[in-house]
Amino acid sequence: SNGTVEQVESIVNTLNAGQIASTDVVEVVVSPPYVFLPTVKGKLRPEIQVAAQNCWVKKGGAFTGEVSAEMLVNLGVPWVILGHSERRSLMGESSEFVGEKVAYALAQGLKVIACVGETLEQREAGSTMAVVAEQTKAIADKIKDWTNVVVAYEPVWAIGTGKVASPAQAQEVHANLRDWLKTNVSPEVAESTRIIYGGSVTGASCKELAAQPDVDGFLVGGASLKPEFIDIINAATVKSA
């Protein structure tokens, strides 16, 4: 929840002027707050797509303050982020509720970045994989087709704290998550689904993280408001080199 019209236009100008790897190397999606979506979509270079940060769990109606998947489709917004840890913790969104949201958004034709991840207490208790599996299962229980789903692993303890999961820690969870998909969904889905990392990703940490075999991209928070976002985008070239 950041930005003014002037700040958003400045970020758009930076992205429009930046040297970014081609779309066959990296898919770039930016997710401003709802109120800025039309501005960003209208002014941003066409190869960069836009996402909403959330949407409602079903058709619009008597749900004051909510934005429906249909509204996003109507605006030509192709992507939505669902189940972000801040919505789980601050808004009390359960894994089941997130699963329902993912299924509904997909049914309306949106592509979904679905977020999973553990808190510091859960990691220290050794339950990281149990938590991530439970969150992913709640989505798997509601959907059949994973074509338009990207899974974002965001360790809650590394969001905005400056703590970054080490490349080895990120790789371990991503590999376990892929194994979970292989066993519980299908080998094809495990192979084709992108699992991206979110948690204090910066220009300094991005290349080593991007080199991990099961890290397929990033969900970038605070650093996406800075010029180093271009460097993070271009970290994708590590895999194509």
Q: What's the distance, CA 119 to chain centroid? A: 17
Q: List the catalytic residue out of 70, 84, 93, 174.
A: 84
Catalytic residue among 93, 100, 154, 174: 154
E-strand stretches of 162-229? 195-197
CB-neighbour burial class of residue 208 (10 A; exposed 0-12, middle 13-18, buried 19+): middle
55 CB contacts (<8 Å, ≥6 apart)? 66, 67, 68, 69, 71, 72, 80, 82, 101, 105, 110
- Decide: 97 and 129 in contact? Cβ < 8 Å: no
**Strand-strand pairing, 149-153 and 79-82:** unpaired
**Runs of H (alpha helix) within 77-119:** 85-90, 95-107
> What six digits make up the tokens of 98?
């997130």
Q: What distances in angstroms separate CA 122 from CA 117, 127, 131, 159, one per listed residue?
A: 10, 5, 8, 15
DSSP assignment of 20-34: ---TTT--EEE---G
Active site annotation includes 174: no
Pull the structure tokens for residue 10.
């400045």
Tell me the catalytic residues.
84, 154
